[in-house]
Chain A
Amino acid sequence: MTWIAVWRQLKRNRLALLGLVIVAFFIAVALFAPLLAPHDPLAQSIARAGETPSAQHLLGRDELGRDVLSRLIYGARISLTVGLITVVIGAGIGVPLGAISGYFGGRTDLVIQRLIDIMLAFPAMLLAIVLVSTLGVNLENAMIAIGVVSIPVYARLVRGTTLVLRDIEYVQAARAIGLSNAGIIVRHIIPNLLSPLIVQSTLQIATAILWAAGLSFLGLGAQAPTPEWGAMLSSGRTFIRNAPHIVTFPGLTIMITVLGLNLLGDGLRDALDPRMKL
């Protein structure tokens, strides 16, 4: 299945295209934040705190008089980083665990699966909170916590797919040829896991952004004055009556970004579905 074929499938799905546009926009904003931001995201002006949107400050000023738009633009960098790093941690540990569990089965599988069960027994957010509190409260540890909490998602997905792939005839053919187990996992199992992994990761980035915002909102993630979306919501929430724009715009930004990632993920799931390609 080539990327051209995926694109052809994706093009037919309007919602997925919308998701793609949102995600592309989000990534572009994150990459070019210094060029796009009209003001310094950290420059305070207490005297003009809470100003409503104007030509100078399109989304107004926050509770410390900072430019909300600029902070949101820089916040995109943080959210993109959070999304990518947590996925790298979650997939980096979850994929090998799941592949080993599914491929070798038996006692190895049993041990890994029981560990995963234990992790899944706690609500993810609660586990993340416990981890951050243990590791120390800052954004890096929040990313580690979210990454760790997403390990089971990857391990489960990969184990299930590997179980199917392990017995599929082309894997047996590779074994009959004399390819080693490691060779089979690297050459035949992982490449065929890529489609579900890409879909899962797109959705997982959305979840991670939401969780990071949640942790920051609770004061367990990004710390002031970092322009993180969740932290912006948190610090602006006391002014919701007098200056609702301070929380409305970060809230909308989180919502649209997460929606975009989900739409794209769902679209990719359909586009990459092997049953649709024949």
Chain B
Amino acid sequence: MSDVLLAVTGLKKYFPLKKGLLGKTYGHVKAVDGVSFAVAKGETLGIVGESGCGKSTTARVILRLIEPTAGEALLGGRDIFAMDARELRQLRRRMQIVFQDPFASLDPRMTVADIVAEPLRVHGIAAGTERRELIRDLLRTVGLSDAHMGRHPHEFSGGQRQRIGIARALSVKPELLFLDEPVSALDVSIQSQIVNLFQDLQQRYGLTYIFIAHDLAVVKHICDRIAVMYLGRVVETAATAELFTRPLHPYTQALLSAIPVPDPDAAQERILLAGDVPNPVDLPPGCRFQTRCRFKLPVCAAAEPELTDVGNGHCLACHLHRVSSN
């Protein structure tokens, strides 16, 4: 892969479970449990998986909003987790995030101008009229107008609020944007507008995106590559077209079959996932998908499959493929 911007290896985030008067730890939620992926400059990587599989946690750890348990994340070759306070400030200008919930992501007591100005203020970017001009430009860039500057978030629709959040994220001119389910909370009619905005912005500013979603339909048109996550791990990554035509992991196959097809005559078998999702506190030995897998082999209960390249940059963590290709 050319020109890697972000490379994540073996990322883990365990949340301690505490109880009692003194807060004794009695276990861990393994929210992210050995995630590895890389994103090239200017690329859009999709991270897809069911709700609760650790997508947001992955983003939050890489953004240093929470501390990692283990692993490495290199941004342009520099270790994010080794950065001191001064480097961290610089990092904040290189990576930003757009959140899922447009109602919770904007402080209800601030005006739009204040919300977009906050990053500029924190980083001492521009001042006075110059800053106001910059805010105006940012709002225009995301499809809002000057007239909106003095308003409060509750006066806007979900889609408009999301645009305000995007303006805030763009204000520091980041290279990498995490988009954490940025359209999941919006009406379908609005979703494509926002996705189009992301595509425009990417072209204009050469942005790199990590686009998080809980289903494959949303990411199909915007992502160059997709990483499928299951219970804190990446189980398959491939270029988008490759993943859609040749999904190898049984979980990816099930996710794909869940996408409605426009043509009602097209033969499509909906793969329903049976079985229970294991508790992320207490995972079974072996493959974490085994409890719901249609093709479970004896080896699946014994060893956790590693993510390995099966050709053309298509990576897979599944025993089935190795067994069948041998």
Contact = CB atoms under 8 A, between A and B. Distances in A.
A2 B109 CA distance: 9
Given A170-B106, A277-B154, A177 B65 contact: no
B92 A176 contact: yes
Interface in B91-132: 92-93, 95-97, 99-101, 104-109, 118-119, 122-123
Given A110-B23, A176-B63, A192 B107 contact: yes
A169 B109 contact: no
A169 B88 CA distance: 20
B109 A1 contact: yes
Interface in A131-188: 168-170, 172-179, 183, 187-188
B168 interface: yes
Interface string A261-273: 0000000000000
Given A1-B154, A110-B22, A173 B122 contact: no
A173 B178 CA distance: 12
A170 B169 CA distance: 12
Interface residues of B, number: 31
A168 B104 contact: yes
Nearest to B172: A177
B46 interface: no
Mostly helix, strand, loop or mixed at chain B's interface? Answer: loop
- For chain A, the bracket of interface size reads 20 to 34
B155 to A, nearest CB: 11
Contacts of A168: 104
Interface string A90-125: 000000000000000010001000100000000000
B60 interface: yes
Contacts of B65: 172, 175-176
Nearest to A183: B122
A169 B119 contact: no
| For the complex of A and B, 4 pairs with smallest distance between CB atoms | A178-B92, A169-B105, A169-B99, A169-B104
B154 A278 contact: yes
A164 to B, nearest CB: 10
Nearest to B63: A176
B89 interface: yes
B154 A178 contact: no
A174 B116 CA distance: 11
Nearest to A167: B104
Interface of B: 21-23, 60, 63, 65, 88-89, 92-93, 95-97, 99-101, 104-109, 118-119, 122-123, 152, 154, 165, 168, 172
B108 A1 contact: yes
Nearest to B98: A173
15 contacts: A2-B152, A169-B100, A169-B104, A173-B99, A173-B105, A174-B107, A177-B118, A177-B119, A178-B119, A178-B123, A179-B122, A183-B122, A188-B107, A191-B109, A274-B108
B52 to A, nearest CB: 16
A110 B123 CA distance: 34
Contact of A178 (B22, B60, B97, B122): B122
Given A177-B118, A191-B107, 13 more contacts: A106-B23, A110-B23, A169-B101, A170-B105, A174-B107, A176-B96, A176-B97, A178-B89, A178-B92, A178-B93, A178-B119, A179-B118, A179-B122
